Amino acid sequence: MFDSIHEECGVFGIYTDKTSDVAAQTYVALYALQHRGQESCGIVVNDDGVFRQHKNLGLVNQVFDKDTLERLGQGNIAIGHVRYSTTGNCNAANAQPLVVRHVKGPLAIAHNGNLTNARELREKYENKGMIFHTTNDTEAISYAVTEERLSSPSIEAAVEKTMDKIKGAYSLVIMSPSKLIAVRDPNGFRPLSLGKIDGGYVVSSETCAFDSIGAEFIRDIKPGEIVIIDKNGLRSVESHCGGKGTICVFEYVYFARPDSVIEGSSVHKARLRAGKYLWREHPVDADIVIGVPDSGLDAALGFSQESGIPYGIGFIKNRYIGRTFIQPTQKERTNSVKIKLNAVSNTVKGKRVVMIDDSIVRGTTSARIVRLLRDAGAKEVHVRISSPPFVGPCYFGTDIDSKDKLIACRMTNEEICRHLGADSLGYLSVESVKKLAGNSDCDFCVGCFNEKYPIEVPKEMPKDKFEYRISENK
């Protein structure tokens, strides 16, 4: 419904030293990660090597209820996943975690990221006679791990060999009959954290999930690291470590929850810095600073603190409308922004307003939001964006698959400003966005802002790369 960058996915895993209600704990953790994926979700519970699973389309509270959680039962290991489809269309078959069964036992896998060589891997395994039931990257990873497991002494050895085959972004949570394994790609494109809970360990895309279940954050999993948790405790394999990570900087701008800590940096503080840098780069005379909920709010506060311009609540967000909200008529589609956002007239009427948002993709929604402020009586509207303009596609787990959809590739800054109906427009610079995570000892992927990617990327990678009409030529 909205012209914005979508989250990728969220993964979670828990290992305990005794049988317990790991399904319920995973359920609560997925609630905390709901912002990372709102199309589907799933949980797999391991009860002494017996896997029970449930997954479907929908939000966490739609897919799971008390009866479903009770059917999943007790266990000592569980993994969970919330999904937004950056690869593969939205259907129940693509919901994760995936469970595969082979001669050495069952395997469950959940994935956040995007492989750059997924098409080649899939063709390789299809030519070997393997049958694919999904159109996502994760199934190709599961086949790669299974193939290596047949000749490897352990699941972690198989995963280590698999990392030589797969390229791109992957934060994985894998469950074998007796182990929980967490894996992060050598570039560390997507976050993955390790925590401790009574009697065991947890891993998650974000630390906010630890807070929700009373777990203690230990550290970020290193780029290239394989963490193994079993009855003997915790250990890791670092044969693919050594390089400096290049995490997606948009985790700090938009994807992650403000209360999460990624690579040692508070997401909330990173967004405050974005607002402060925006003021330094694009100052303006104004009466009030407001943010577009939710990720624009912290940046607006930072802009206000740095500039001295008062901060105000400019929009009220309807939190009961999900991404699947249906707009039956053209009139309702045109008014879709009003359904989710409404301007607070008392805040903006007769005032020169600075409106802070996290990004502009196509520009359609941004123009409608500016119109909301005009209709509410704003005298001037100055748009400030807490990220640089999008000028390139993302190959690592964000749903930007074509330059022709990006307004910054078609218009100049002045033309975009007129298109939005704003009085002025300012984007955060690439140099400043790299400085948002002040405490992080890593580099950042900013390829979508400057088309300079940390690794080699394919010439094209459409979202539906595994689905073709009969009339289409591969």
Q: So which residues are the catalytic ones?
A: 9
Residue 15 DSSP SS3: strand
- Written as one letter, the residue type at 168 is G
Buried b (16+ CB within 10 A) or exposed e, 343-368: beeebbeebbbbbbbbbbbebbbbbb
Q: What is the DSSP string of 107-131?
A: EEEEEEEEESSHHHHHHHHHHTT--
User: How many of the other CB atoms lie within 10 Å of CB of 454?
Assistant: 20
- Widest CA span of the chain, in angstroms? 72
- Phi then psi for residue 4, to 5 deg, are -150, 165
Beta strands 9-20; 200-204: pairing state: antiparallel
Q: What's the Cα-to-Cα distance from 454 to each of 155, 168, 397, 458, rounded to whole Å?
A: 29, 10, 14, 13
For helices 137-149 and 155-162, angle between their N-to-C axes, nearest 10 degrees: 120
- Residues pairing with 436 in the sheet: none
User: How many of the other CB atoms lie within 10 Å of CB of 189?
Assistant: 30
Q: What is the DSSP string of 383-448?
A: EEESSPPP-S--SSSSS---GGG-GGGTS-HHHHHHHHT-SEEEEPPHHHHTTS-TT--SEEE-HH
